[in-house]
Amino acid sequence: MKKFVLGLICGIGLTATTAVYAADTIQAYLFPAKFVFNGQDKELNSEYTTLNYNGHAYVPIRFVAENMGATVGYDDELKKITVDYESLLTPQPKVKDSWALRPTTGFHDGMLLFNAGLVFGKGYIDTDNKGLVQTLQFKNQDKQSITIQPLNIEYQILKVDGDQDRLLFSYKLSPLEGEIPVYGWYEANLPVWNLKDPNGNPVTSGKYAAQIVIPNSLDYTIEGNDEVNTLTRLSRFTRWEFDVTQSIIDDFFQATHSESALKEFQK
């Protein structure tokens, strides 16, 4: 676990309020600041005080650190404050129903048609996850956060028979709405398709498709501006077709059956 040493945290420039005198060394001011962590208001305990000294905010290190998932220690002999902040280096995704927020410090995705939109990736069959794994994200690669109107998406698996599609599986995601932060994206928690038909039987060989059903447009606003903008094309790809051969089916179900048999043997 990594550590760093701090005395006091200093921040933005401030306007003086009530004066406070500490011994004969400094003159500071009480500063009744409000604290917001990841959009959540946190009340400062009565035992803590925020100060304004020389135009900088001095805040209680324990209060701030613990609200960011860190732990604080103090060595009285060495007069040293230590903060263990491993969790700060690997932020956990914020889950929003069917979506999980992945914060980043910057990226560029060539699959996006505009600075924001959906990225529907090509899937693959994974025996470890017992089925077809597909990826779907809503990304914002702009330098400003945006706020989107409710976005409804249905994920489907289809059997392709010539010009006809037969629906085998469908899943409606919870609507995604609200703020998409700067250089952030929400990743959909798509279910894994188990290569079975609606009756629970293994599928036959042939051509299949994974697709998303999405609206033709999406309204959104940009941070600091109330003007409504519209994305007229949300995703470069909305459908992927793939061949499922008999060999793939045999290998897939042999692997899953072998794993099930092993689990039964280990009971």
The pLDDT value given to residue 119: 95
Q: List, as own/partner pairs, every contact residues 166-172 make where C-beta atoms lie below 8 angstroms and the sequence separation is at least 24, other chains included.
A: 168/193, 168/197, 168/198, 168/203, 168/208, 169/193, 169/198
pTM above 0.95, yes or no: no
Mean pLDDT by 10 residues, the chain (267 residues): 41 45 65 75 79 82 77 80 59 61 85 93 81 93 93 95 91 93 92 89 94 96 94 94 90 65 34
Q: What's the rounded Cα separation, in Å, for the pair 156 and 193?
A: 10
Q: What's the rounded Cα separation, in Å, for the pair 236 and 136?
A: 12
The pLDDT value given to residue 93: 42
Q: Which residues pair with 50 in a beta bridge?
A: none
Give the chain's length. Answer: 267
Q: Yes or no: say if 185 and 100 are a contact pair by the CB < 8 Å rule.
A: no
Residue with tokens 């921040």: 11
Token representation of residue 253: 């179900």
Q: Yes or no: say if 260 and 266 are a contact pair by the CB < 8 Å rule.
A: no
Q: What's the rounded Cα separation, in Å, for the pair 18 and 157?
A: 65
The pLDDT value given to residue 38: 62
Residue with tokens 């324990």: 62
Q: Yes or no: say if 37 and 68 are a contact pair by the CB < 8 Å rule.
A: yes
Q: State the sign of the Cα–Cα–Cα–Cα dihedral 207, 212, 213, 218.
A: negative
Cite the DSSP H helix spans in 11-113. 61-67, 86-89
Domain architecture of the chain: domains with CATH: 3-88 (no CATH), 94-266 (2.60.40.10)
Q: What's the rounded Cα separation, in Å, for the pair 254 and 130?
A: 11
Q: What's the rounded Cα separation, in Å, for the pair 108 and 141?
A: 6
Q: What's the rounded Cα separation, in Å, for the pair 50 and 57?
A: 7
Q: Yes or no: say if 266 and 259 are a contact pair by the CB < 8 Å rule.
A: no
In 98-238, which ranges are E strands? Answer: 99-103, 116-120, 124-126, 131-133, 136-140, 146-151, 154-161, 164-172, 176-180, 184-188, 206-213, 218-222, 229-231
Helix (H, G, I), strand (E, B) or coil at 147: strand
